[in-house]
Amino acid sequence: MTLEDVKVGFIGFGNMAQAMAEGFLRQKALRPGQIYACAKNWDKLCKNTEEKGMHACRDAQELAASADIVIIAVKPYLVAEVVSPIKELLREKIVVSVAVGYTFDKYEEVLAAGTHHLSVLPNTPVSIGEGVIVCEQKHSLADAEFALVEGLFSKIAMVQVVEARLLGIAGTICGCGPAFVSMFMEALGDAGVMHGLPRAMAYQLAGQMVAGTGKLLTATGAHPGVMKDAVCSPAGTTIIGVTTLERKGLRSAVIDAVDAIERR
């Protein structure tokens, strides 16, 4: 089985599943006919799949019978209910979960014995091929199966393997982070508008600045503090802004937000 002929199916086709499918198509990792999906709302499912050439399946059983890789993309509280009727079908598949909090050990309780499965946490930038997919280190995929999944996911994201105990915090940084960064970009846009920039231009400038800064960090491996210092000239404009953000508690607010999520 190769990326040229593998069939990928999504059980649940909400925002994250659609983001992944969009990324696969955008990056030409898969052809539309290689993607299958099922969801409760049939009309909405058809609109979100068939217009792009993907297959809409009536139920999870039809999907599991059609796909080689089955991606479980439902809410965590629905996982056991969705998996139970198709356990035997999934035994012969590569099962990948994107359900938050559903680790390898939890799936061992709901899947049939011997099922090959992996738990991952993607973020929404996968839709444009610039995402992060955090994979739990503990899984039951064969080496060739993991290589296939990793090869597919690497087309739309940076793939990072982590220990089970770190899956939650890694997922929080990557999965919740886009919301935090979006708030920061919106605030920069508002500040730009306040000082005369057209809003669309302000958002474009903020967005490209964030994208470029992120790529600079990952490409060079530079410490964020070093990157910050490189922009701060003595008595210059940037250091004025930086010290203002420090006084207003930007750093502690971000840390507290992540900590609140992890302690929920």
pTM tops 0.85, yes or no: yes
Q: Is the dihedral of CA 225, 227, 232, 238 positive or negative?
A: negative
Q: Which residues 6+ apart lie within 8 Å of 239 measured at CB?
A: 232, 233
Q: What is the pLDDT along the chain (264 residues), one digit of tens a residue?
A: 899 999 999 999 999 999 999 999 999 999 999 999 999 999 999 999 988 999 999 999 999 999 999 999 999 999 999 999 999 999 999 999 999 989 999 999 999 999 999 999 999 999 999 999 999 999 999 999 999 999 999 999 999 999 999 999 999 999 999 999 999 999 999 999 999 999 999 999 999 999 999 999 999 999 999 999 999 999 999 999 999 999 999 999 999 999 999 998
Query: Residue 43's pLDDT is what?
Result: 94
CB 22 within 8 Å of CB 35:
no
Contact indicator for 57, 38 with CB cutoff of 8 Å: yes
DSSP tag of 5: T
Amino acid at 18: Q
Alpha-carbon dihedral sign for residues 20, 21, 26, 29: positive
Burial class (CB in 10 A: 0-12, 13-18, 19+), 114: exposed
Domains and CATH numbers, the chain: 8-162 (3.40.50.720), 170-262 (1.10.3730.10)
Distance CA 238, CA 53 (A): 49
Long-range contacts of 174-181 (CB under 8 A, 24+ apart): 174/121, 174/122, 174/123, 174/132, 174/134, 175/100, 175/121, 175/122, 175/123, 176/257, 176/258, 176/261, 177/123, 178/123, 178/124, 178/125, 180/254, 180/257, 181/210
pLDDT tens track for 201-228: 999 999 999 999 999 999 999 999 999 9
Tell me: the pLDDT tens digits for 64-112? Answer: 999 999 999 999 999 999 999 999 999 999 999 999 989 999 999 999 9
**How many degrees, rounded to 5, is the angle at CA 177 between CA 214 and CA 244?**
75
Q: What radius of gyration do the chain's Cα atoms show?
A: 21
Q: What is the pLDDT of residue 12?
A: 96
Record the tokens describing residue 60, joined without a space: 């999870």
> What local confidence, expressed as pLDDT, does residue 264 receive?
87
Structure-token pair, residue 100? 């938050």
- Coil vs helix vs strand at 263: coil
DSSP-assigned beta bridge partners for residue 131 = 157
CA nearest neighbour of 11 among 47, 53, 44, 45: 45
Query: Residue 10 phi/psi, 5° resolution?
Result: -110, 120
pLDDT at position 36, please? 97
